[in-house]
Structure 1
């Protein structure tokens, strides 16, 4: 039996927040020859610590199982690459980054962000555990170390390359089960007067917009700004500023510094903390009620798909993101309701979604088949995908967005 303890404060007092049943790991797409073999599933049950309020999943799978070979390549999202460039431009101006600076990105993926640092002539290094996507970064000219960040890795990189003026990490602080050790690694990397920038989905918007599909096994925790403050403090880092972002349906960009140089937090920090408190997320009781809202999203989507099938209308999917696999598995959507989905990533073509076993095909298939409806699974890229899917209007097709509530456009 798993010993359920809070990974941040060690408390055994954990309360159920959202139970989505048992699903396979969301990025383990199946090859055709794997369809006849058993597929392991793991409970997907988020709990909230009654002491420190960190929302978390038990570490039932390891990062090594998920990230050694990874199916997600950041550069396939045009809007995400543009978002990364804007961050590099803004942070370079904010921090005065130049030829003598050193920038590290943790979980640097295929070089989608650091390529813009390289273009500026700023020395940089990516730390990326996945061999396949790290190799793609090196081919792009981005220096990349294949490793997981630990305190020892942080010390090693600092000894070989010097302290980092900026350590950036986007959508990885939720992906590590050893949050204290990882944070100590960040502190080892960053200069004593340096900066750490963390982008992570905001639990406040996850709850307000019913974004339950962003819950999956590689997301070990779900942060408010309050719990991010507490996590960073465990490694000697202090939050000094925060930005609210639209990425991934609603994220926060947290700016932190070593405690000795941090100073007072900005007004924006106080404003976001106040919004969280008003929503009830600074008490354990304030987390109650989310599960009921999630079940309503499921009921509406499944009812729509069943009615479309009865009416003889065709529905196919667009995208095969990890979040889509949480949605499909929780809702019990299989090829009888969604015969296939498409994705721009060639790595996924010819494979099948984990658990639900829906074929993943190239995007051109949609125009060839001209379905009545296209179910958009990466809803967080709505503006980008509405533009990509504009040809669907030519044959009278419509787009379906399942979250935050069912919308047919």
Structure 2
């Protein structure tokens, strides 16, 4: 196997989670009696460009099928994040009625609804028909396509170049990273801007966030590596923000290398921070397996101890990261009987692999569990506030990442 960016042969293992089903392949009742596909889940580090990447690429279309269940709009904090970004970008880039905004992986219109509300023309690019349908119901023009160089050329021919391209949490989901970034350069207006958000590999390592590894995430990025990839395709990163979202993310601001955007000091500062952390050296990537195993073992031990003690445990948040944790730990309904989720698109389904049922929040009041294990730890503040009533019967919240914590 070769690096999907620089084609260097891959030898260095970063993390091996055995095998697992795709983390968003939720099961219906009928599917419970059918075979369930599991695939290897193993990451390598490129010895040349330091891109961390999954060793086996599943079909892009299969992973992001029409019945894809992830809808961005069911997180209030994520909606607030999106609205703040639109306000910031509108002012910073002087966007108006003569501008054109494109969002790639626009999901259910969670972000573009705020662009449209300002009267700014916009279009979403979203390959999953279920989420695209919801976006259209909000009045957001949405094209059901995968983004790449050919699509970008077709779009520019038909609609013109784009003043702002937004790509939140999609860069990691792209199997052909060169085709995707070349598409960004093709679709962008001469003085336009690209903003890209993705989880920062430095934060993943520092906070032992191995559960963010799943088949839909083909790549895991340092700032050094992304800067190199963008430069290959004639794009320069002129600013970078460090965000708390998803356990620690980066937001890049990029443009054509010949544009008039001025590089901010934040670019050099982050490059320096990564260098000082050792991210350019192979040793940095050699010890993450032990960190992941420690998180997994502590979580499993806790669940076993509570079962032996006769205490009730519920899960909250049928997130992809939770599925990685549960499947690597071998957790099944005997240890975690159900998981609550706010999304009706997940309720009435079963988690892939573990086959734990996804239920509505009313189940918590009925069962009055002793502990609620929060699987999407990145939303723990929002969730603990929403479910604060469990304290009425002495219920407590539990996090497994970065280390087991009873709140």
Aligned residues: 406
Instruction: Name the SS for the 2:172 alignment partner.
Output: coil
Deviation at 1:349, TM superposition (A): 1.5
The structure-2 alpha-carbon separation of the partners of 1:94 and 1:296, relative to structure 1 and needing over 3 Å to count, comes to same
- TM-score by structure 2 length? 0.98
**Map of 1:48 onto structure 2:** 45
2:13 maps to 1:23: no
Deviation at 1:385, TM superposition (A): 0.7
Instruction: Name the SS for the 2:345 alignment partner.
Output: helix
Task: Find 1:253's aligned residue among 251, 262, 266.
Answer: 251
**Map of 1:286 onto structure 2:** 284
2:8 maps to 1:11: yes
For the residues of structure 2 that align with 1:220 and 1:133, how far apart are their CA atoms? 21
For the residues of structure 2 that align with 1:230 and 1:109, how far apart are their CA atoms? 28
**Map of 2:366 onto structure 1:** 368
**Map of 2:135 onto structure 1:** 137
Deviations 1:115-136 (A, max 9, x none): 0000000011100010110010
Task: Find 2:59's aligned residue among 59, 62, 69.
Answer: 62
Deviation at 1:235, TM superposition (A): 2.2
For the residues of structure 2 that align with 1:68 and 1:339, how far apart are their CA atoms? 28
Alignment of 1:27-106 (within 5 A): 27-69=24-66, 70-106=68-104
Deviations 1:272-331 (A, max 9, x none): 111111111112222111111111111111111111011110001001011110010011
**Map of 2:166 onto structure 1:** 168
**Map of 1:239 onto structure 2:** 237
Contact preservation (8 Å) 1:13, 1:51: no
For the residues of structure 2 that align with 1:303 and 1:149, how far apart are their CA atoms? 43
Alignment of 1:257-406 (within 5 A): 257-261=255-259, 265-406=263-404
Contact preservation (8 Å) 2:57, 2:218: no
Contact preservation (8 Å) 1:42, 1:60: no
Contact preservation (8 Å) 1:71, 1:348: yes
Deviation at 1:234, TM superposition (A): 2.9
Structure 2 unaligned residues grouped into runs of 5+: none
Instruction: Name the SS for the 1:168 alignment partner.
Output: strand
For the residues of structure 2 that align with 1:380 and 1:224, how far apart are their CA atoms? 20
**Map of 1:219 onto structure 2:** 217
Deviation at 1:58, TM superposition (A): 2.6
Deviations 1:352-393 (A, max 9, x none): 111111011111111111100000001101111111111111
Structure 1 unaligned residues grouped into runs of 5+: none
Contact preservation (8 Å) 1:256, 1:262: no
CA RMSD of aligned residues (A): 1.0
For the residues of structure 2 that align with 1:266 and 1:375, how far apart are their CA atoms? 41
Deviations 1:68-113 (A, max 9, x none): 3211000011110110000000000100111111100000000000
- Which deviates more, 232-241 or 297-306? 232-241
